[in-house]
Amino acid sequence: MTEKDYLGWLAVKQVVAFTLRKDAVDQASIITALRDPELKLAGYKGRPMNFRTWNNQLRQPILLTTDSALISMSPIEGFLHPSYHTDTLGYDEQESKCRLGGNNQ
């Protein structure tokens, strides 16, 4: 499975899971649910994932592997963000000029 395959699978899986749990399945309801900071996507990488509210970037762990073994999973203990574990990767909200989420569109 390539990166594009995985992200496509994850997107379809989450939208379908949301629509099966909710009565309203309109686009606005789905977008609101996906932007919920309490959302925990099951991406099968060992930690729950969600989207950053300020730029819609998927927060996910990075797996460092060989063809037959998992070597490490980032973020690494000792380098964790105070509010969300995978925000140690990339720019933090205060450092980013990107504002795609919420009412900033």
Q: What is the mean predicted confidence (pLDDT) over 15-28? A: 77
The residue written with tokens 């309203």 in the block is: 24
| Band of pLDDT at residue 29, cut at 50, 70 and 90 | confident
User: Would you say residue 104 has pLDDT above 50?
Assistant: no
Residues 51-89: tens digit of each pLDDT = 887 778 888 777 888 889 988 877 666 665 656 666 666
Domain ranges of the chain: 50-105
Q: Kindly give the residue spans of alpha helices, DSSP state H, lying in the chain.
A: 3-21, 27-34
pLDDT, position 8:
92
Distance separating alpha carbons of residues 51 and 37, to the nearest angstrom: 7
Mean pLDDT taken over the chain:
76
